Amino acid sequence: MNKAAKQAAIGLALVLMLLAGVIPVQAAITGLTGTAFDLVAREGYISTADGSSIYSWGYASGAGRMQYPGPTLIVNQGATITVTLRNELPAPAGNVSIVFPGHAATASGGVAGKLTQEAPPGGATTVTYTFTAANPGTYSYHSGTNVGLQVDMGMVGAIIVRPAGFDAMNPTAYGHADSQYTYENLFLLTEMDVPMHNAVASGIAAGAINVDTTAFFPVTWFINGRSAPDTMLADGVPWLPHQPYGAMAMMHPADRVLLRLVGGGRDMHPFHHHGNNSLAIARDGKLLESAPGLGADLAVSDFTITVLPGGTVDAIFTWTGEKLGWDIYGHLVTDPLEPGEYAPDHGKPLPVQLPSDLEVTFGGQWSGSPFLGGGGSLPPGEGGLNPNGGYFFMWHSHNEKEMVNFDIFPGGMMTHVLIEHPSVMLMEGN
């Protein structure tokens, strides 16, 4: 297949995909930008992939819908950030508030609570939180009121502080080249005790909430507010109106993907990313550097990252397919090299024969070929979720129990990264 014909085929495919409503992958995380944010605590129902609806609370932006997690706030280093909060939750829910771990926030308005100023129900009172986004990095925000209940109910979100001099065409997380990335992805990890949510809903209907948060026992797990496989859908799909953020990562070989991991619940989670080790370059918004300006010289490579409750980790993932001992493109020796291809393996055949079609069970994301960008014939009804022949690698909590949607496997805290052939344009699809 010559290059011109290949490009024409891809161009035509691109037009068709655009008509079908899919869009090119954005390099940056979806969120709200600026210096002033207007958040409102609202109730709503979120959907899980097992078909359930869970009564939840969340921060909405202005007159918008309640969302889980709350809006991701993307701000610039050094800016003074103002977040106003009103409470439109039903009266039995009580007051709400926001705390900003890693930031020295002051609060005014509302009523005094244990941790900070709180907004009482009724929606008439505004609490104003102010902080300076002094340091770049990944942070979270969550309710500071009745925290044991409200965070599980959904009152949590992420904050991203862009470094001074941030250039969207050559982005870094911390200014230093060690934090440079091609794509960034947010992975906000949470869990929910669904029977507790049902008890809260009943309590509200009856006029008083009475739940024992010490008996917390999660049964459904989320990345960015969605349970698998909804985690792999694009941002803003219309049938998940209260869960606007997807968790699907996409890349080409040799790209650097920044994982912004946020522990948004009360449990620890071991986040295992298949495909390769990652380099954890920062924790809790602090670059792992032994002295300022040295870059991430204390960074640690690992294949599973422990995400602590309330903590954040920034890790760089890359993948080249090198040193496998066979040509990942299925080249003949006489074929030209792909950009960045590991030359010593060029032209080496797959060292084994794969079993016949009748002997295997096919995954939906199996292209029919072991090669990157490859495809092959599949029995009717098989595959179909990998039209460009990319490599899918599962990224998930390795507490396997957490890959479940309320007793239904698979689900929960799981998503994928899709590594596409260098000639394939990365597209977010439905």
Interaction residues for another protein, span 292-311 (CB under 8 A) = 296-304, 306
DSSP per residue, 390-418: -EEEEEEESSGGGS-BTTBSS-SSEEEEE
β-strands 36-47, 53-61 pairing = antiparallel
Give the separation between CA 136 and CA 176, rounded to whole angstroms. 11
Asked if 39 and 129 touch (Cβ cutoff 8 Å), the reply is no
Closest CB to another protein among residues 93, 316: 316
- Least distance in Å: CB of 386 to another protein? 8
- Least distance in Å: CB of 192 to another protein? 12
- Least distance in Å: CB of 148 to another protein? 20
User: Which value, in Å, is the radius of gyration of the alpha carbons in the chain?
Assistant: 23
Site for another protein in 216-235 (CB under 8 A): 219
- Least distance in Å: CB of 7 to another protein? 8
Residue with tokens 């979806």: 30
Of 16-24, 68-76, 163-171, 243-251, the segment contacting another protein by CB under 8 A is 16-24
The β-bridge partners of 24 are 427
Give the separation between CA 112 and CA 2, rounded to whole angstroms. 70
The answer to whether 270 contacts another protein (rule: CB under 8 A) is yes
Draw the binding track, 89-128, toward another protein (x: CB under 8 A; -: no contact): ----------------------------------------
Of 57-65, 132-140, 240-248, 401-409, the segment contacting another protein by CB under 8 A is 401-409
Closest CB to another protein among residues 244, 275: 275
**Which token pair is 92?**
């039995």
Site for another protein in 33-52 (CB under 8 A): none
The answer to whether 392 contacts another protein (rule: CB under 8 A) is yes
Give the separation between CA 348 and CA 336, rounded to whole angstroms. 13
The answer to whether 275 contacts another protein (rule: CB under 8 A) is yes
**Contact with another protein (CB under 8 A): which of 256, 266, 272, 286?**
272
The answer to whether 416 contacts another protein (rule: CB under 8 A) is yes
- H/E segment holding residue 9: helix 3-20
CA 41-42-46 angle, 5° bins:
125
Torsional class of 218: left (φ above 0), alpha (ψ -120 to 50), beta (otherwise): beta
Site for another protein in 322-351 (CB under 8 A): 322-326, 328-331, 350-351
Q: How many chain residues touch another protein (CB under 8 A)?
A: 93
Residue 136: closest CA among 287, 348, 9, 16: 287
The answer to whether 23 contacts another protein (rule: CB under 8 A) is no
The β-bridge partners of 249 are 417
Closest CB to another protein among residues 32, 417: 417
- Least distance in Å: CB of 152 to another protein? 16
